[in-house]
Amino acid sequence: MTACSPSPAQTSQPVLNVSPTVTIPAMPPSPRPSISPVEPTASLTPPAPTLITLPAIPESEPTPTSDPCPRRAGTLVDDQIDSKQLGKPLSFRIYLPPCYNTDWETRYPVLYLLHGQGYQDDQWTRLGVAQTADNLINLDRIPPLMIVMPYDSDWRQPTEAHFDEALVEELLPWIDSHFLTRADRPNRAIGGLSRGAAWALHLGLTDWRSFGAIGGHSLPIFRTDTNQIPKWLDAIPTADLPRIYLDVGTKDADLASNLGFEALLDDRHIPHEWHLFTGYHDEAYWNAHLEGYLLWYSQGWTKDSGK
């Protein structure tokens, strides 16, 4: 068992700043919060990510220039696909790392991040995940990666909703066929906050062949998953168990759910990383731990193994 001891209390709460974004004409209108990602805290501050339409991958190599990648910031792309599982389009936001469109040979690991109930696919970028990724990449603390943030518009349990089937059967292969991803389990992780954490655990255990790592941030386990989780864990070969990360605030209303699942992993001697931080079940808490999340997800990923 590799559970970690509780981390030191964190009391500071970053301040969110407002900045404009660019709207993609092809996207249907939908209400979005106007708050932009927080300012990064690392020593290197890249330009803010720009929301753009991704150009098609050229059939030939781009013409070399003295500096093929003058901007050291990633880009954000909004898109959607038709979903038979949902019976309506599945929309999503994608973070592409700096220099993505200047090198068509390099392929990137992919992190799927799921938002909380009542929020949309822009929640993680409002919290600052894009600028945090830019900083860590530019400081060589993590390799360049893609982050896919799907929109779950439902509120029901997995036995009633079909978000899991839509993500694994429709979105995941679409992303792998349209972007420069490393389409294998070791280079694919899934995580989420609040309801998104419940989905990450559900998907990571039921479709363990698709994801090599699972992150649960302030995890409220689905009611219909409670009795199934031990069975799902038993069905995964020991050698294929995904890496698991759990964290929760000491004043989180779902603290008991997190403690129960961590105890289950402990009793079964399943390796996992566990953190009990000071904080509540809110965006200030998740924002404060973004850097730690990305550092953990990126463990084992490299810059050049996808070439």
User: Which DSSP string corresponds to 38-57?
Assistant: PPP-SS--PPPPEE-PPPPP
Q: What is the pTM of this model?
A: 0.78
H or E segment to which residue 216 belongs: strand 213-217
CB-based contact 133:145 (threshold 8 Å): yes
**For residue 238, is it left (φ>0), alpha (ψ between -120 and 50) or beta?**
alpha
Q: Quick count: other Cβ atoms within 10 Å of Cβ 58?
A: 9
Read off the pLDDT of residues 120-142 as tens digits, 9 standing for 90 and up.
889 999 999 999 999 999 999 99
Angle at 100 between CA 111 and CA 47, to 5 degrees: 90
Task: Give the Cα separation of 217 and 198 in Å (integer).
Answer: 9
Read off the pLDDT of residues 70-127 as tens digits, 9 standing for 90 and up.
568 999 999 999 999 888 999 999 999 998 988 788 999 999 999 999 888 899 999 9
Residue with tokens 């694919």: 188
Read off the pLDDT of residues 196-229 as tens digits, 9 standing for 90 and up.
999 999 999 999 999 999 999 999 999 999 999 9
Domain covering 71-156+171-235+245-297: architecture: 3-Layer(aba) Sandwich (3.40)
